[in-house]
Each structure stands twice: as C-alpha cells, then as structure tokens.
C-alpha cells in the first residue's frame, strides 16, 4: 500500500525534513538541558521548554498535558517511549519519587512490573523507531501500535502493528484462530492500513534484564486479505504473456 499523503505539499515537506533529522535535533536539545522524566504509574512525565515542546510534538513522542505554567510544558510519555529516549537515544534521565536517577536495570524492573508484556512491546517499539517510523499507540484500532512514515499531520499511518511472542504461542494467544485473523484484517482494511505482525523470538533468553533485548530477534510478517478478483487479473495477465 502506497503512502497516503495529506495534501500535495506533504511529501515534499517530509523529504525536506526527514524524521532522522528531527530526532537528531530533539536528542541534542534534551541532552543540553539535562532533561529528567518522572516515573508516574504506567507513564513518565517530562517537563520541557517551548523549543523542546515543538520538537517532541514533531517527533511524535508523548502527549502534552495542559497546565497553568507558561514557561514549562509537561509531556506524558508511554513506558516504551521513555525507555527508548533514556536507553537508546540517551537524551533523558528518569527519576523515581525519591528524585534519585534510575539506572537501566531499575527502569526495566519498574516498567516490567507495570506491563507484563513490556519486554516484547519495548523491543517492537525500538525496532520500528530505529527504522525512523513514527510509532503511536494503536488501541483505537485493536492493535498495539500504528506506524507512520512521517508526522501524522503529513501522512496517514500505513501499518497496524500487532506484537506477538512465545508467550502467546498457545491457544489463548492473539491471531491463534481464523476468526481472529478475519476480524483484524477486516478492521485494518476498513481504515486503509496493512496489518504488520512483529513476532518477537527470545532466542532462549529470559526477560529479567534490559540486556536481553540485544538477543531478541524480530520477524516481520505482513498479513493481507486474499482478493479473488485481483488474483484472477494476475492469472489473466500471466496467461496473456
């Protein structure tokens, strides 16, 4: 499925300012300001300056929180977003309620305790982000994430992303029966998205430490509905040649 740009100039804007450059500017700005996020339940709160507010919005990290403060803007980051900014981009630090900076092991333990499937969602999120996809929550479409080629203001999301793992290899896992496939594919088709299944293979590793992510492998599977009419057209073309 080709990208569905929003307007004639949208693609040109995206090419002129690719997501990789936006992330680089964001990374530099957050490092210079020694930014710190605060653990808050199943999210991380990050206070930023107006310039960083714009960069976070453009890079699609978190959601702004409206407050009475004029010079400081607060953003609510998901656990996956915060972990990526902290451990992959290394541009923020994260503190707990005691204001002490958490190391990677402590963050991993905390975030895994809040989400039982955090290790797999985190690996999938990092996998897509490092390929410069914009990744947003996909709960409104019944999936884990949706992936955009650039900012959602410029282009519609292309993929509805489901994250599967060895833990879901039994009969209770998602997409384990035909009806699951049928319902999910119909939903994706109705909103013009392609279903992308990311299967996380642990390679025999545990999930007790962030170092396990280096050993996890991600297998990408595109799932589409079979179109009888299209298949007949292809067969007809092959026969004529």
Quote the crossing angle between the two packed helices 19-32 and 50-59, to the nearest 10°: 150
Show the DSSP H helices in the chain as ranges. 10-16, 19-32, 50-59, 79-83, 104-114, 118-129, 178-190, 228-240
List the one residue out of 122, 89, 98, 126 whose CA is nearest residue 108: 122
What is the Cα–Cα distance from 226 to 10, expressed in whole angstroms? 31
Q: Is 151 a catalytic residue?
A: no
Quick check: is 148 catalytic? yes
Candidates 84, 148, 199, 216; catalytic one: 148
- Residue in 123, 127, 151, 193 annotated catalytic: 193
> Is 193 labeled as catalytic in the residue annotation?
yes
Helix (H, G, I), strand (E, B) or coil at 111: helix
Q: State the Cα–Cα distance between residues 49 and 73, nearest whole angstrom.
A: 6
Backbone angles phi, psi at 75, to 5 degrees: -120, 140
Q: Which of 13, 49, 93, 156 is catalytic?
A: 156
Phi, psi of 8 (to 5 degrees): -65, -35
**Do 161 and 148 contact (CB within 8 A), yes or no?**
no
Question: What Å distances lie between residue 86 and 67, 81, 143, 170, 208, CA to CA?
Answer: 24, 9, 25, 34, 18
- Determine the Cα–Cα distance for residues 4 and 149; give it in Å rounded to an integer: 10
**Catalytic residue set:** 148, 156, 193
């Amino acid at each position: 499925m080709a990208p569905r740009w929003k307007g004639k100039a949208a693609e040109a804007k995206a090419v002129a300012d690719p997501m990789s450059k936006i992330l680089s500017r964001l990374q530099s700005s957050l490092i210079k300001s020694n930014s710190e996020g605060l653990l808050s339940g199943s999210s991380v709160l990050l206070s930023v300056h107006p310039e960083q507010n714009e960069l976070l919005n453009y890079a699609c990290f978190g959601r702004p929180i409206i407050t009475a403060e004029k010079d400081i803007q607060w953003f609510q980051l998901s656990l996956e977003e915060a972990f990526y900014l902290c451990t992959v981009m290394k541009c923020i630090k994260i503190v707990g309620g005691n204001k002490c900076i958490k190391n990677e092991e402590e963050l991993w333990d905390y975030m895994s305790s809040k989400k039982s499937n955090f290790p797999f969602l985190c690996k999938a999120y990092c996998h897509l982000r490092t390929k410069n996809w914009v990744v947003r929550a996909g709960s409104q479409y019944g999936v884990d994430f949706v992936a955009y080629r650039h900012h959602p203001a410029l282009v519609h999301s292309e993929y509805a992303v489901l994250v599967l793992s060895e833990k879901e290899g039994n009969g209770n896992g998602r997409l384990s029966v035909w009806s699951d496939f049928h319902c999910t594919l119909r939903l994706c088709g109705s909103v013009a998205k392609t279903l992308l299944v990311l299967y996380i293979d642990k390679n025999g590793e545990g999930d007790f430490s962030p170092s396990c992510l280096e050993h996890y492998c991600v297998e990408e599977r595109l799932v589409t509905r079979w179109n009888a009419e299209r298949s007949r057209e292809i067969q007809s073309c092959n026969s004529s040649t």
